Each structure stands twice: as C-alpha cells, then as structure tokens.
Chain A
Amino acid sequence: MMFIDPHAHMISRTTDDYQAMAASGVVAVIEPSFWIGQPRTFVGSYIDYLSSIIGFERFRAGQFGIRHYCTVGLNSKEANNQALAEGVMEILPRFALKEGVVAIGEIGYDEQTDLEDKYFRLQLELAKELDLPVMIHTPHRDKKRGTTRSMDVCEEHGMDPSKIIVDHNNEETVQEVLDRGYWAAFSIYPSTKMGNERMVEILAQYGADRIMVDSACDWGISEPLGVAKTAKLALQRGIPKEHVIKVCYQNALDAYGQSGQMHEDDWLNPAPIDQRTVYEGNSILRGGRDPLVEDATAAPPNKLNADKLIIK
C-alpha cells in the first residue's frame, strides 16, 4: 500500500527515519513551515529556513525515493513578533510559487492574540491571490474554540472550505470541521494530539470522506511511521481497505493536489530528467534495484520499533 504523510517536519528527522518511512510505503511527504522549537529573531533566518525546505530537504527525501512537497507560511507563535512578522510577510510571495509548494501553512492561532489574528488573515488573503490551498494549525490550548474561530475567519475572507485543510483535529472538533465542508486532518502524535487507536475509532464512526492522517513528526518525541502504523492498525480492526487508502493516501493527494504542484505521476512515472535531479526513485515501486530495506520491521535502527504498532 502507498502512503502520503501530509504533515511531516523532515528537516528535524534523520536519514534512518526516511529509510524507515520509504520501507513502510510512504511515497510522498508534505513539510509545512513551522516553529523550529525556539524563536527566530531575524527575517534572514526565515529566508534560509524556507530555502532549505524547498531545496536541500527535497533533495534529501529524493535520495530515499520519497517525493517532498512543502507549505510556506508564518506560524502563529512567531506572528507575535511584529517586526519579524512584517519581514516574513514581505518575503512570502517570493517562496509561495516555488516548485512543490502545495499550500500556505501551517497558519492559524496559538494563544489567539490580536497579532496572530492579523497575520492569519493577511496570509489567507495571500492564498486567495495566488490560488493556493491553506493548511490550518489548530491551537493546542482552547482547541475547540480556536478551531471554530479559524473557520469563522476563513469564511469572513470568502475562502472556499474545499481548499482548506484543518489539522490537528480530535474527537471534539471533527464533527464541526466536516459539517462545514473542510478537510479534517489528524496528527498521530504520541502523548499529545492523537493516538492511533482513537483514530481508528474515529474512522469507524465518521467514515473516510475528507479525513486524512499525518504524523506531524518533528523535533519532539514523535513517530515518522504514524501513517503506516495507523493504516495497518485500521486494517487489523476491520476498517475497509478503500477507506484506509483514502485517509492515508488519496485524500491528501486530492486536497493538496489542488495546488497543481502534486501529481501521482511524480512518484509513479517520474520523468527521466527528474531522476537525474532530485529523485532517486522508490525501490518498492520500481523493482529493478535492490530494495533499500526489506520491510518496515527490518528497518534500521530497531529503536523505531516498527513492530510496536500502537501509538498512544
């Protein structure tokens, strides 16, 4: 089975992770621009960060047969540094049209301050101008009201819900997000956002339409095999295969493919010129070459615990 991880901060991950992800069936990842764990203090740091995720990180992923896409945006925490935020808003148009940029994101609220609100709105306008989808980060704290507010603001700006992915959902937010016509993404992130047993319950209850699963793996204790493990667990627990394919592959492709920057052919039929540039081809799909690793359970290193299926 092929998987897409539509939210993975690969810039914080090792080559072991890439290798394990490729072995588990991940063919494409989307890397949202985000908070790097401590505040950036100059717009220059932002420029170099965005350059990395459109450049070197894509090359790194390609070496493992994984296609790499990204989203660009000013995250909600750093929206509170007004000088930085102004600088970032000025340079964003320069990055939003780069190859493989599939959305403006992840944007939204953290503490729901006035500055967060201001730059969220400005970025929605930019997405509208450039006709790009939007990836919304819903807040960790006061999540339910923050999620509702994010959608209210989108509608105030005349955004089309079918081009907006609301991420980091849980049992409390999913109903409203789906009812209002948005895509609902779930981050299988240990201990905080969502575990995969809970996720399977949600799939059993809500079906697979407009739902997608991601790992949100980053510099914290997180799980790059989140999508693959959730798929396996869902199948074991009786979720129909076509639903698993939708939430772990097809819906992400349909939602972010609206950017015109992400096509199934990118990994199924890469142009020869691409193989000469950033993409080495996926041994799982392409045969003809020795596989990078036999399967997820054999993937080094063992600390990734590919056998340990449950993510709590």
Chain B
Amino acid sequence: MNRSRTPQSLLSQWLHDRLPADQWDWLQQTLVTCAKSNTDRELYIALGMAPRKLGKADLALSDAELSDAQAAYAGWTPSDWSIDGAARLLVLLMLAEQNQADFDTTLRSLCATADVSESIVYYRGMALFPHSAELDEQLGEGLRTNMSAVFEAIAHNNPYPQEHFDDHRWNHMILKALFVDSRLYPIQGLDQRANPELAQILCHYAHERWAANRPVTPELWRCVGPHATPIMLADLQRASQSKDPLEHQGAMLALSQCPLPEATKYITAFPDTAEAIANGTLTWDALTYRLNSTTQ
C-alpha cells in the first residue's frame, strides 16, 4: 500500500468524501480566495464561515483513514476531529506551504483572538505546520490556558510536545495535567519522556496531596517508577499500601518498573497483584481502563 500522502492531501480527501457538492465547492473557492488574497480579511472570514457553511459534525474517520494519518505524520491522531476543524486546518496548511515566514505571524495573531473551537483546532494541528521558534512560543502561551479543553488540545493525542518540548516544559505540562484533572495516558511519549526531575516533582506533589488529605491519581506513579530514588521508593511503598485498589495497583506497576533492587521486596508483599503484573493482566492500559470506567 502506498501511504506517502501528506496531511494536507488527506484532509482534502476526507472532506471531499464527506461534503455535499455545494459545500465542497464553497471550500475550494475559499481556498483559492485565501491563496490569492494580500490581506488577512479573507482569511478571517473563511475561518469564521467554515462552521457556518460546513457544519460541525464529527469527521468520523475509519480505521483505515486513521492509519493513513499515522503514516502521513507519526502520532497524528484525528480520531475525534470535526468537519469544520478539518476545513480550517486545510486552509492554514495551504497558507503555511505558500509562505512560511508570514504564516508564523498570521497564526500567532489568529491564536490571540481565537474562540475555543478555533484554539483547539490550531493547537491540535500545530505539529503539522512547519516547526519554528514562533510557533513554539505560541504553544507555551497555549499551555498557560485555564480552559481544560484548550490545554488538552495540546497535551492529549498530540505528537508536538513529545517531539519539541524540552524537559522543563514537558514536566510542567505533566504537572499541570494533574492539577486540572486531565488524564496522563493520552499524552504521547509519556513513558519515553519520563525523567528523574519529573519523578522528583511528582513525589513532592504527592506529598502535598497527602498533607491535604486529597487522593493521588494512580497515573502519577507511572512517571516515577523508572526513575525512583531510594527516598521515592518509600512513597511508592506508601501508595502500594493504599486501600484504594487503583492507587495500590498504580504504585505496584511503578514498583515493577523500578530498577532499584529494593523494589522487589515491596512487590512481593502483595503476591496477588505481583502475579497479575507478572502474567500481564495488570498493565497501565488495564489500569487506565478501570480508572475510566470508575470515574467517567
């Protein structure tokens, strides 16, 4: 199978397959108008009109289309994208291709006055634009949002952070996800980008939660296990003794990933859980599933 298509051509194909002829014609006309225009006015109107003209239905991609997306850009996961969002992104990708230097300025200005759905589209699509220091700065701005949906547009199912964030920004994104009650598992590169500094920050955060008698999400320990120091082992042990089964399981999974020899002794204290980890019935994926089914 030839899967050498670009994100731009895929978006265009998906929209072509889904839009009625008159809406598709409007989109083609709009792309031509925006490409020819010397001012931003046409662009603002095109982006503003997209949901009005095309509707906001789910794009609802098939499995085959989703794997095309992955082949076109590793990590690209448009599984819950919408029609209007795809159209907006198509317009922007065309402009980026036309003139990258101007595009950075244009996108920053669009982000500055975006409504919530626009922000979500721009940040979700950020990895697909030509990378630049300008866009990177915009991503930093986006991370400071108070709107969880906008934060998750950056953090979740997005290849950008894994590829481009330095450890400092990465670590603060993880910590913020915990603060705003976002899940960690949809963050791409969660295991690969774990680091000793992050493990330390998360253990301090767990202590704050414990001091305030607040629960600690089991997902937190996933980033601690592989980099735990002997002092952090004590935290893992404490969490492994939790009466909350999910917290217990999270801590046990983290212990099983800890290279320190003492970790073994804490694992063997709970033979049933140890067995479930050893035979593969308890994994981070399985725990995530249980976590979602108990709290959603």
Q: Do A and B come from the same complex? A: yes
B-binding residues in A (CB < 8 A): 47, 50-51, 54-56, 58-59, 93-100, 260, 271, 273, 276-278
Q: Is the CB of A273 within 8 A of B58?
A: yes
A-binding residues in B (CB < 8 A): 41, 44-45, 48-49, 51-52, 56, 58, 80, 82, 112-120, 146-147, 149
Q: Is the CB of B112 within 8 A of A93?
A: no
Q: Is the CB of B114 within 8 A of A55?
A: yes
Closest to B58 in A: A273
In the assembled complex, the Cα of A50 lies from the Cα of B113 at a distance in Å of 8
Q: Is the CB of B117 within 8 A of A94?
A: no
Q: Is the CB of B113 within 8 A of A47?
A: yes
Q: Is the interface of B mostly helix, strand, loop or mixed?
A: helix
Residues of A within 8 A of B147 (CB): 55-56, 59, 278
Q: Is the CB of A59 within 8 A of B116?
A: yes
Contact among B44, B114, B146 with A97 in the assembled complex (CB-CB below 8 Å) = B44
New contact pairs (15) apart from A99-B116, A277-B120, CB-CB < 8 Å: A54-B115, A59-B116, A94-B44, A94-B113, A96-B48, A97-B44, A98-B48, A98-B115, A98-B118, A99-B51, A100-B115, A260-B52, A271-B56, A277-B149, A278-B116
Question: What are 22 contact pairs spanning A and B, CB under 8 A?
Answer: A50-B113, A51-B113, A51-B114, A54-B115, A54-B116, A55-B115, A55-B116, A55-B119, A56-B146, A56-B147, A59-B116, A93-B41, A93-B44, A96-B48, A97-B44, A97-B45, A97-B48, A100-B115, A273-B80, A276-B149, A277-B149, A278-B147
In the assembled complex, the Cα of A80 lies from the Cα of B46 at a distance in Å of 32
Q: Is the CB of A59 within 8 A of B80?
A: no
Q: Is the CB of A95 within 8 A of B113?
A: yes
Q: Is the CB of A97 within 8 A of B52?
A: yes
**Known: A97-B48, A97-B52. Contact between A277 and B80, CB under 8 A?**
no
Residues of A within 8 A of B45 (CB): 93, 97
Residues of B within 8 A of A93 (CB): 41, 44-45
Residues of B within 8 A of A51 (CB): 112-114
Closest CB of chain A to B295's CB: distance in Å? 13
In the assembled complex, the Cα of A96 lies from the Cα of B48 at a distance in Å of 8
The 5 closest A-B pairs by CB, nearest first: A97-B48, A277-B149, A98-B115, A54-B115, A59-B147
In the assembled complex, the Cα of A44 lies from the Cα of B104 at a distance in Å of 20
Residues of B within 8 A of A100 (CB): 115
Contact among A50, A94, A97, A277 with B116 in the assembled complex (CB-CB below 8 Å) = A277
**Known: A51-B112, A56-B146. Contact between A97 and B49, CB under 8 A?**
yes
Residues of A within 8 A of B118 (CB): 98-99
Closest to A53 in B: B115
Closest to B43 in A: A94
Residues of B within 8 A of A273 (CB): 58, 80, 82
Residues of B within 8 A of A98 (CB): 48, 115, 118
In the assembled complex, the Cα of A223 lies from the Cα of B143 at a distance in Å of 36
Residues of B within 8 A of A54 (CB): 115-116
Residues of B within 8 A of A260 (CB): 52
